[in-house]
Amino acid sequence: MNSNLVIIIGTKAQLIKMAPVIKELMRQKIAFKFVWTGQHQETINELLKCFGIPQPDFIWVPNTEADTKFKLFRWLFAVFIKGLKPNQALWKKETIVIVHGDTLSAFVGALIAKIKKAKVLHIEAGLRSFNLFNPFPEEILRVLTSYLTTFFACSSEWACKNAKRFSKNDHYILNTYHNTLLDSTLLALQAECKRVLPTEKYCVVSIHRVENLNNAQRFDFILNQILSIALKIKVIFVLHPTTKKKLEGTEWLRTLKQHSNILLEERMDYIDFCHLLNGSSFLISDGGSNQEECSYLKLPCMLMRKATEREEGLDALTELSYYKAEKVDVFVNVYSNKARLMLRPGEVSLAKHISPSKIIVDFLVKHNAL
């Protein structure tokens, strides 16, 4: 059985979703090489500690944070140089490379793998918004990665159908039924929260997408909505590094700081963030992962987007804002006045919980992929 398994990831979101897969590999005593591309650096060591994951075996671009266009291009060039170098400890015969999601690290990792004649397993495959520029650049990266994929690990039957458009005779489409984020959320809620949660009712805000931060009209709309929401319920605004940098270049930062019912928080570790969500009344976000977490936590979620590539929660508590104030108003009026109890870990299990991470690892073992 081939044991040359390589995991290539490079962002905080990828690490959160890949953590339970890595832990399952460790539980089954399956050897792997862990490559960190260095696309993101902030809080990575903290996340490794939170999930009990070892340090990467290889760091292609150390001590970087690709949070500007210049840094991103410089990082991209360095990753290709490092990844394509001969490395007998990494690139062997019949290597399988696991990539995750819709980031540049996923696409670049898959592309380097194909150049090295390795097979690619893409986790979170098959998600589509069917609009190449919404969300941008994620939808383009998903499509490009699909062309490089051998094993498609899809989180639903719908995603499997989308993946079939890119599959060939020697490819395999695996339905994991849920995203590996379900396992991550369960692990987080089972761990101890290190922060003291507010005793009063509150909501959480998390905004970070390029199409919102770089569009002045959307950016102003979202922040005006936050001010309106804060008149009805306490707002905890968790700042991504890119969001914080954007705010620092405007008058909005001073306005938000001066509001008595808005609390600006630095981005926290994943365990504390899950507990913060679980204790809140609702979430205002533009993140697809947040949409999934809310579906697992049965938490109402207003997505500041016109479209989403994910199905989770859309038939229940998740709504798209379409950037219309009246939709946001109705949502906030309903859920700021509703009582909500925090879920216990066992209540997050979606009836019979099947671990997506275990399905993926068992598939690799069963099909002698490792």
Q: Are 200 and 237 within one domain?
A: yes
* pLDDT at residue 352 is higher than 70: no
pLDDT grade, residue 331 (50/70/90)?
Answer: very high
Predicted local confidence at residue 133, as pLDDT = 83
Chain centroid to Cα 249, Å, comes to 26
Q: Are 251 and 335 within one domain?
A: yes
Q: Are 208 and 268 within one domain?
A: yes
Token readout for 287 is: 């993140």
Q: ∠325-326-332 over CA atoms, to 5°?
A: 90
pLDDT in tens, 59-90: 999 877 777 788 889 999 999 999 999 998 89
Token readout for 196 is: 């003291």
Chain centroid to Cα 229, Å, comes to 26
pLDDT grade, residue 230 (50/70/90)?
Answer: very high
What pTM did the predictor assign?
Answer: 0.89
Q: Are 338 and 361 within one domain?
A: no
CATH at residue 201: 3.40.50.2000
Q: Are 148 and 40 within one domain?
A: yes
Predicted local confidence at residue 108, as pLDDT = 96
Q: Are 44 and 142 within one domain?
A: yes
Does the residue 246 lie in any domain? yes
Does the residue 260 lie in any domain? yes
Average of pLDDT values for 120-135?
92
Does the residue 185 lie in any domain? no
Provide the 10 A C-beta neighbour count for residue 246.
Answer: 19
Q: Are 359 and 338 within one domain?
A: no
Average of pLDDT values for 253-261?
97
Bridge partners for 284 per DSSP: 205, 302
Token readout for 84 is: 């394509």
Element (H, E) at 162: helix 157-163
Instruction: State how many domains the chain has.
Output: 2
Do 287 and 206 form a contact (C-beta atoms < 8 A)? yes
State which residues form the domain around 295. 195-344
Q: Are 323 and 260 within one domain?
A: yes
Cα 237 to Cα 141, 206, 326, 332, 342, distances in angstroms: 29, 6, 21, 15, 20
Pick the closest to residue 213 from 304, 329, 306 (CA basis).
304
Average of pLDDT values for 118-134?
93
Predicted local confidence at residue 169, as pLDDT = 85
Helix (H, G, I), strand (E, B) or coil at 308: coil
Q: Are 163 and 42 within one domain?
A: yes
Element (H, E) at 287: none
Average pLDDT of the chain is: 91
pLDDT in tens, 259-281: 999 999 998 989 999 999 999 99
Measured distance CA(20)–CA(60) in Å, rounded: 23
Predicted local confidence at residue 351, as pLDDT = 45
Predicted local confidence at residue 349, as pLDDT = 53
* pLDDT at residue 348 is higher than 80: no
pLDDT grade, residue 3 (50/70/90)?
Answer: low
Predicted local confidence at residue 346, as pLDDT = 59
Q: Are 332 and 359 within one domain?
A: no
Q: Are 239 and 279 within one domain?
A: yes
